[in-house]
Amino acid sequence: MTRTTWQTLLADLALVLFMVTVGALVRAKHQHAQGLVARVPASPPAALPQESIPLSVYRDVPGAPGLATWLEQQPRDARQQTTILVRYLPGTERGLTGRVDAVIAAANAAGTHPRIVIEPGQGGISAGVAFDASPEPMARDLLSPDHRLQHRNLQP
């Protein structure tokens, strides 16, 4: 017959308590992780600007009319979007501000509100009018209450 001492009994109870505690923690962690996944709202997919084939194209080449003249000659339709593309060569960024200001002045003189895209390239200005007007403006005031950034905090 084996004799059980109080130390062995206490060790057995401590081992059982440890296993029960670990099991409860694992279950609680799993349930908490499921709760976090369920609570994070799904963000709407980012809408890319709609682009279609231009109905009319402008290129800033010798002998072409000015951008303002070309813009004034374009028919007006609320469903159309004018996109002006300003390309610059690397190293010519300093003069870019003046070119963009001239493009904006030409658009204002023609009474249009174009989308202006600035990108590196061979230099020059081109424009197009197409039925690709987006339903909402691309740039928004992120500080206004309607357009707050959605922050996902995964910490409890």
One-letter amino acid at 151 equals H
Give domain status of residue 139, yes or no. no
For 62, the 3-state DSSP assignment is coil
d(CA 67, CA 109): 10
pLDDT of residue 133: 60
Check whether residue 116 and residue 62 sit in a common domain. Answer: yes
The DSSP bridge partners found for residue 109 are: none
Give domain status of residue 85, yes or no. yes
Q: How far is CA 41 from CA 44, 78, 101, in A?
A: 9, 35, 41
Pairing between β-strand 115-120 and β-strand 56-59 as defined by DSSP bridges: unpaired
Q: Residues 55, 131: contact at Cβ < 8 Å?
A: yes
Number of domains composing the chain? 2
d(CA 20, CA 14): 10
Check whether residue 86 and residue 125 sit in a common domain. Answer: yes
Write the pLDDT tens digit of every residue in 33-57: 666 555 545 555 555 556 678 888 9
Domain that holds residue 103: 56-130
pLDDT of residue 153: 45
d(CA 104, CA 67): 10
pLDDT of residue 150: 47
Which residue numbers in the chain have pLDDT < 50? 40, 147-156
Give domain status of residue 122, yes or no. yes
Check whether residue 78 and residue 110 sit in a common domain. Answer: yes
d(CA 52, CA 131): 6
For 78, the 3-state DSSP assignment is coil
pLDDT of residue 134: 59
Give domain status of residue 48, yes or no. no
Show the DSSP H helices in 1-156 as ranges. Answer: 6-39, 67-73, 96-110
